[in-house]
Structure 1
Amino acid sequence: MVNSKKRILTGDRPTGALHLGHYVGSLANRVKLQNDYESYIIIADVQALTTHWDKDDHLRNDIMQITEDYLAAGLNPELSTIFIQSMIPEIHELTMYYAMFTMVNVLRHNPTVKTEAAQHGFKEMSYGFLGYPLSQVADISIFKANLVPVGEDQLPHIELARRVIRRFNELYKPVLIEPEALVGEVPRLVGLDGKSKMSKSLGNAIYLCDDARTVQDKVKNAVTDPARIHKNDPGHPEVCTVYEYHSVFNRPELEEIESNCRQGKIGCVECKKNLAVKLNNLLEPMRERRQQYNQAAIKDILMEGTRKAHAAALDTMAEVREAMAINYFDR
């Protein structure tokens, strides 16, 4: 029977454990989408090397960690194909074909690439870093994804994918699918320090793998309204990191919390304790699911997902080679 579901391609670079920012930004949505779409979840280990090329000894552990986080969050390997990018050589082959007709200036002017280069302090960009958007195009197109869930900041990548795929179809044969961006309301979760988005490198994150006590301790040290000295002082929730977390993870009580804060009826300690309870209520089912998977089970899931993804990639590449007339011995 032909699968009538539209196909989604999404994923992450394996650079460490996932945190609450990842969960609200994309992971929770993936769990919902897997019921309605044929989902391919790529662990982009090759693309991780564009910024972590000197830390390749961490990759194996990071791949296992991110897969465990996926499963704990609710991704079902029966519904979502979780696979490792580097183990699909056809992705790299297709990337190179795209590189033959994509101009360097197109890559240099990609706003996301320029922003990331500045964030990492790159004075010069390596060939791999400059070209990783083409690798993403190959990721998307080799699985013939109809939709790619992204935030607003990733839209330039999808537009590039559409341009490259359209050009391929014009040059050769229309065998590839131009994807659409599936743009959601992706909240940028601020870190516990209240200064910037939640990030492993900044040490301001709550991880999906944190135990209950760790969550309590981290929330206890989260930044609140700096102008509020005493418990009964009127608060300013709009500048409070803890209130922002309540707005994401505790919406039913939000109006009451805001009112009590502004009137000085609730102190920061009590507010933080309430938040810690809500976060642990969210994470507890993940902790329970996490216990269902040992390292051997995770490895089996990755191997099976990669096998399935490889089969799909082989089918697409047969069409690509035929379209380019480079299937020399198949004719």
Structure 2
Amino acid sequence: MSQPIEDTEITSATLQHAEAISAKIDAAIKRDPSEFRVLTGDRPTGNLHLGHYFGSLRNRVKLQREGVETWLVIADFQVITDRDGTGPIKERVHSLATDYIAVGIDPDKAVIFPHSQVPGLNELMLPFLSVVTDAELRRNPTVKAELEATNGRPMSGLMLTYPVHQAADILFCKANVVPVGKDQLPHLEQARVIADRFEARYGHPAGQDHPVFPRPQALLSEAPSILGLDGTKMSKSKGNTIEIGMSADETAKRIKKAVTDSDRHITYDPEHRPEVSNLVLLTALASDRDPVEVAEEIGDGGAGTLKKVATEAINEHMAPIRARRAELEADPSYVDGVIRRGIERANEQANATLHEVLESLQMSY
């Protein structure tokens, strides 16, 4: 049986091991993408922005185009883990699905679904909770951070079991690869621990010679760290983002108000000039160039020139995506159909997985 998770902090050895496995997966995908199934997704807490786009969405499109089977969960239940209300959640679910398709996800090949509509997925939390401890969950970095930020407010049971719900998202569809940043490695380790412990404690269905769940591995993202336009962490709630669905004019207005500094000479120095470097980075990502080269080209042009160049690069890059998004918004029934088909496919898979689980538990009556 897997040993208890004693420390969920990410050590250098842990990161090096994850990087080595990730490199092997990347090479294996290039050889034969049919061996892999990817699960990734987002919480519908607001509209997706350029941080999401450059940080993960482009990579999802790349993986799908390489031939990897792609499942995209819209984690709507997780919206209520740490807040009293959901907001316009139905609209946000629709908006996320629209963004996925607009940026290039092929809806005829991907499975796009909100996990609230997949009862079998959520039912997996019951047997999964039987193989984890309260202490392990409280050591999870996300749960620890939430506990520290409550200012005395009791933490919800749903927040405490957040890592288990994430494991259910991953394991129900038998995903064996999850694209993540290094800060999410503990969540993936929790999913592997659950898969291992379930097998050790309950085994697998009679006549089946392999575990119910594969051990999901991390495909580490090399996504750059993108700040908000005010120099702080990019956040939907702060209004410091450029949303995927924003118009060119709205983008220009946001960038015009972006924080810079008093040095007229533009350089790319994320450590000492984070705000300026962030605009340089966004320009480089949008134009597929090196940020140092972008900064050198602007030189003594100052913040005004930097903002002008950034606006042009971002709007040019996003123009076809926004045009596609406008088409989708004009035909909302199409996106609704994609979501319904995703829900149907996800339920088929969840019910099949749950059947195996109940067989293993000897609860098939």
Quick check: TM above 0.5?
Answer: yes
Does 2:303 match 1:272?
no
Matches of 2:168 and 2:200, distance apart in 1: 17
TM-score, scaled to structure 1? 0.90
- What amino acid maps onto 1:106 in structure 2? E
Matches of 1:223 and 1:6, distance apart in 2: 42
For residues 117-150 of structure 1, what are the alpha-carbon distances to aligned partners after superposition, in whole Å with 9 as ceiling and x for unaligned?
A: 4456564311000001101111111100110111
- Count of residues paired in the alignment: 317
| Structure 2 counterpart of 1:202, from 238, 244, 263 | 238
Matches of 1:116 and 1:182, distance apart in 2: 26
- What amino acid maps onto 1:322 in structure 2? E
Matches of 1:51 and 1:267, distance apart in 2: 42
Matches of 2:212 and 2:291, distance apart in 1: 50
Does 2:188 match 1:158?
yes
Structure 2 counterparts to residues 54-65 of structure 1, below 5 A: 54-65=84-95
Give the superposition deviation at 1:242.
2.0
Give the superposition deviation at 1:57.
4.7
- Percent identity for Structure 1 against Structure 2: 38
Give the superposition deviation at 1:246.
2.6
Change (3 A) 1:253 1:165: closer
Structure 2 counterparts to residues 123-162 of structure 1, below 5 A: 123-162=153-192
Q: What's 1:100 paired with?
A: 130
Q: Runs in 1 of length 4+ with deviation above 6 angstroms?
A: none
Instruction: Indicate the RMSD between aligned Cα atoms, in angstroms.
Output: 1.9
Matches of 1:246 and 1:320, distance apart in 2: 49
For residues 272-316 of structure 1, what are the alpha-carbon distances to aligned partners after superposition, in whole Å with 9 as ceiling and x for unaligned?
A: 111101101121111121133222111111000110111011111
Which structure 2 segments of 5+ residues have no match?
Answer: 1-32, 204-210
- What amino acid maps onto 2:51 in structure 1? G
Matches of 1:251 and 1:4, distance apart in 2: 29
Does 2:75 match 1:44?
yes
Matches of 2:307 and 2:182, distance apart in 1: 31
Q: What's 2:358 paired with?
A: 321
Matches of 2:98 and 2:224, distance apart in 1: 23
Q: What's 2:106 paired with?
A: 76
Q: What's 1:292 paired with?
A: 327
Which structure 1 segments of 5+ residues have no match?
Answer: none
Change (3 A) 1:122 1:20: farther
Does the 8 Å CA contact 1:112/1:153 hold for their aligned counterparts? no
- After superposing the two structures, state which structure 1 stretch, 248-257 or 151-160, moved more: 248-257
Q: What's 1:115 paired with?
A: 145
Q: What's 1:248 paired with?
A: 285
- After superposing the two structures, state which structure 1 stretch, 30-39 or 243-252, moved more: 243-252
Aligned to 2:178, what secondary structure does the other structure show? strand
Does the 8 Å CA contact 2:50/2:242 hold for their aligned counterparts? yes
Change (3 A) 1:279 1:200: same
Aligned to 1:34, what secondary structure does the other structure show? helix
Matches of 1:84 and 1:191, distance apart in 2: 27
